[in-house]
Structure 1
Amino acid sequence: MAGMQLTKKGHSCVRLTRDDGRVLVIDPGRFSEEDAALGADAVLVTHEHPDHFDEERLRTALEANPAAEVWTLRSVAEQLGAAFPGRVRTVGHGDSFTAAGFGVEVHGELHAVIHPDMPRVTNIGFLVDGEVFHPGDALTVPDRPVHTLLLPVHAPWNKFSEIVDYAREVGAQRALAVHDGLLSDTGLGVYGRNLGPQGPGIGGTAYTRMTPGDSTTV
């Protein structure tokens, strides 16, 4: 398996680059950097909400690279597939596939509850190369060990205690913050302290927040 570099591209978007140069991007949405999907060989989208899926930006990336492909759930595929026949693939819980050389497993089915009066959309999480898990907008626990958990730290659908318990249950070696685009610097500091040694503890998982543009080896 080739090595990977993970680069944060803002909010809930990450870019994975293999040693062989191939690039996979997850959730290039409206709160991500504008060029987040450009140059990608493969794109994974967890669900249809605009902070994870920006149709115009994704169309631009697919037009710029005629070989690029997308794997996502039906609600997103239906918005893109007609314009890019054969390049947008629908996947769901339990599926596994190879995207630009990356091995991917799909886990989960539904978005977390925002409020009982609001309908739940579908949501899937992606485990890449058995190493990095992006749950999208859900607290899905894969049925296998995870090395790096992309931890959605702040959203209308979660609270701090749930994030702590989720990190403990997944038991990854490290958790990298995502879904933090709505937090101010003050809020980010509070989350950093509470998810670090000063907080209640998240087991043996080491918590880190990267700023957009930062990279790490996974």
Structure 2
Amino acid sequence: MQLTKHAHACVTLTGCDGTLLIDPGTFTPDAAELIAAATAVLVTHEHFDHFDEAALAAELDRRPELRVHGPAAVRERLGGRAVTVRSGDLLEVAGFQVAVHGERHALIHEDIPPVDNVGYLIEGRVFHPGDSYRVPEARVETLLLPTSGPWTKFGEAAEFVRAVHPARMIQVHELMLSELGQNSARMLLGEKGLTGLPLEILPAGESTDV
């Protein structure tokens, strides 16, 4: 299958039977166009940088058969027009086998209650964790690694990668880092840094086979 990286946390996975879009949020400028082209959509959690509520609602008005999956809050905000998923669920979506892992968003601060957050393991190979460093109870070939945000910390990211032990990792959730910051993340977390594994930086719009 092919993975296309879009701005911030958004990626598309393309296979023989469909196009699976994960986390089209408001930080992704072409979110509406990506949603319109998708066979199905997975949302890890309700935060706006992962979930463009208006764009998804508009597409569901136009195309009610569009399948959208996410935590209960996503279903509620879309007026019941999404399927609620929880840790342990196994799905077949757009021709892809999807396993759901994790339950809560990483802690930002004790004064900010964490929302529900799930990660998606696609075809037993590619894992999108949303906003969490919770280790999935499964083997992962390609890890999509968040590198920026109010909840992230490079030391925790390194421990997450070590625990997951993927064969490959690709940066996501990067928009709060400058180019210098992204290169610093690549050095600290990459093959000559704390994980011994290259951190791949795919510009928005570029694709790779996974």
Alignment match, 1:210: 202
Q: Deviations over 1:67-96 (max 9, x none)?
A: 3210111011101134x4xxx111101111
Alignment of 1:134-173 (within 5 A): 134-173=128-167
Percent of matched pairs sharing the same residue: 47
2:187 and 2:61 map into 1 onto residues whose CA distance is 42
Cα separation, 1, equivalents of 2:130 and 2:149: 11
How many Å separate the matches in 1 of 2:198 and 2:183? 16
Counterparts of 2:88 and 2:142, CA distance in 1: 20
1:40 and 1:61 in contact (8 A); partners too: no
Structure 1 counterpart SS, 2:35: coil
Query: CA–CA distance in 2 between the matches of 1:194 and 1:132?
Result: 23
Provide the aligned length of Structure 1 versus Structure 2.
208
Partner secondary structure for residue 182 of structure 1: coil
Matches within 5 A, 1:27-176: 27-34=23-30, 35-82=33-80, 84=81, 88-176=82-170
After superposing on structure 2, the runs of 4+ consecutive aligned residues of structure 1 that deviate more than 4 Å are none
RMSD of equivalent CA atoms? 1.4
- Cα separation, 1, equivalents of 2:192 and 2:102: 32
How far the C-alpha of 1:48 sits from its partner, in A, is 0.5
Local SS of the residue matching 1:37: helix
Match of 1:25 among 14, 17, 21: 21
CA contact (8 A) 1:42 1:69 kept: yes
**Aligned-pair distance for 1:64?**
4.4
Q: TM-score normalized by structure 2? A: 0.94
Match of residue 12 from structure 1: 9
- The 1:16–1:39 alpha-carbon spacing in structure 2 relative to 1, beyond 3 Å, is same
Give CA deviations for 1:14-49 in whole Å, capped at 9, x if unaligned. 0001034x1000000011132332210110001000
State how far apart, in whole Å, the 1-side matches of 2:22 and 2:182 are: 22
Decide whether the 8 Å contact of 1:173 with 1:206 is kept in 2: no
Question: For 1:6 and 1:107, how far apart are their aligned partners in 2?
Answer: 20
Question: Could you list the runs of 5+ residues in structure 1 that have no partner in the other structure?
Answer: none
1:154 Cα deviation from its structure 2 partner = 1.4
Q: Which amino acid aligns with 2:150?
A: P
CA contact (8 A) 2:16 2:95 kept: no
User: Does the 8 Å contact 1:13/1:36 carry over to 2?
Assistant: no
Long gaps (5+) in structure 2: none
